[in-house]
Amino acid sequence: MNRITLVGIVVLGLLGTACQKNNEHTSVLGTWYCDEYPGQTIPRTYQVNITRSPVYDTLFYISNFYQMGFSEEAQVNFYQNRVGKLVIYNQIIGNKAIYGTGTVIDNYKSIEWVYYISDDSLNERVEATYY
């Protein structure tokens, strides 16, 4: 095999793996990428971090929810006995009211969300995928 062919194979191999999504989650905990499709604003991709409450087994926190910053957290209840259902009960983060639901897909391969965001000038339905 000549040198050019070998370099081409290596480059193609690196390009193929660089575009793969991280599907190695074994729980809802950790850092996730979020593809978010709001109804009124521009779609976007960003990261969130999910941690567990030290006190309540079913309570989790999502920092950087709706890309509001890692210092802002949405409280989420995770009901594993309800087929991996996550619920965001009505709450205020910053100046926005939020609520919605999510479902764990394929043993933590992704989380599919539908949530609602509103403030004085915005009222929108958002679909998002964490992966």
**pLDDT range class, residue 131, cuts 50, 70, 90:** very high
In this prediction, what percent of the chain has a pLDDT beyond 90? 76
Element (H, E) at 62: strand 59-63
**pLDDT range class, residue 24, cuts 50, 70, 90:** confident
> Would you say residue 37 has pLDDT above 60?
yes
What's the number of domains the chain is made of? 1
Q: In whole numbers, what is the pLDDT of the chain averaged over residues?
A: 87
> Would you say residue 115 has pLDDT above 70?
yes
pTM of the entire structure? 0.80
Task: Using DSSP, state whether 27 is helix, strand or coil.
Answer: coil
Q: Which amino acid is at 29?
A: L
CATH of the domain at 62: 2.40.128
Range of the domain at 67: 3-130
Across the range 97-124, mean pLDDT stands at 97
**pLDDT range class, residue 1, cuts 50, 70, 90:** low
- The residues with which 35 forms a beta bridge, in sequence order, are 45, 129
Torsion of CA 103, 116, 23, 78, to 10 degrees: -40
